[in-house]
Structure 1
């Protein structure tokens, strides 16, 4: 399995499901904090992951990635940062909306 196919099946499909299922819940205003969180995630994670790969703590099989690298990381790793943040953020926002609806 390639990194991109993993992302498609286990991250993008659940994001699509949440986006369709809770489309009435998600507004630009309700998703604004997630945009700010994405900035924090990329700023905090990019240096750490690049150094970890540079130092040999882990790596990426060239046969399983697209071959596009930014620094020491493949493009798919950067997509993973954002997509997993989006997945968890959408799920949390949907749960929060349901909890607020259930509150008398």
Structure 2
């Protein structure tokens, strides 16, 4: 009994199936992001190759990681406050900053 051969897709057909450009498919192949077959000089993909890529692709959107909201600031989460609190800069630091600003931007009238 003979084994059925897998249906082979050209790079253009595979790109259309994934909704990508042929150039993107070539970059993904060069990076090793997607498996493929080379038959002679032709690059071919199977449906298993495309499904494997989809399964291995990173999910976009909100993750269930609670630390993410502190890092990227989801719209419904409070962001972390960074830097010195208002009014906590020492007077010598303020004077040095003022002098530096005068040197850079010139004296105000």
**Bigger radius of gyration among the two:** 2
| Same fold (TM > 0.5) | no
Structure with larger RCO (C-alpha < 8 A, sep 6+): 1
Superposition TM-score tier, normalisation by shorter sequence: under 0.3
TM-score, reference length from structure 2: 0.26
Greater share of strand = 2
TM-score, reference length from structure 1: 0.27
Greater share of helix = 1
